[in-house]
Structure 1
């Protein structure tokens, strides 16, 4: 994986790990979850995606998630890569999309957030995750 994409993932899960009380991501070669990049030319507007590989689980382990390298914003902006990686990892931790259009700046889980400025999990996201666990 290209360094610029790897850095987005590492920065995103490191941010979660430093702020969460009960749940962390680990980087292991034998992990069942996969974090990667994919060129999804059928969906060039898609920023990223997560697919849960265990439908019997309430939460997300194991999962496969990717940044869509066919999206020009993913290719050209470190902030958009970080924002998307943080968003997808939020799903991995059990968060759903937020639809509150009145305060999109308060969550990386808001689908229509400004991906250039909301690049990490916010306090609201961390509180929501801690409530799950």
Structure 2
């Protein structure tokens, strides 16, 4: 194979690889944003309940949907974390009625899943 052929192949492959990396980075950003949205919506829900607002089944189902969305997005990176986020969604679908021991056993505490997701995703980000 000549050097011209090798360089030609490289010139074809580089844009393909760059495009693939860009799509992957977009997915990482999308996943981080979904994680942030679910986290902050959950924080707002807890703040409302602590201030005396009656828990809303509609809001709980909305939180379940948000956590399920994050679970689906994160599955390509970490099956274990995806399963935990799916359990978090189930927690909200069931009305947030699990006790502290069940939440701890499932390892779905709000700060834990946020931290684990952010650390894993930030390691996948490439500097701009």
TM-score (ref. length: structure 1): 0.31
Q: Which has the larger radius of gyration?
A: 2
Structure of higher RCO (CA pairs closer than 8 Å, 6+ residues apart): 2
TM-score (ref. length: structure 2): 0.32
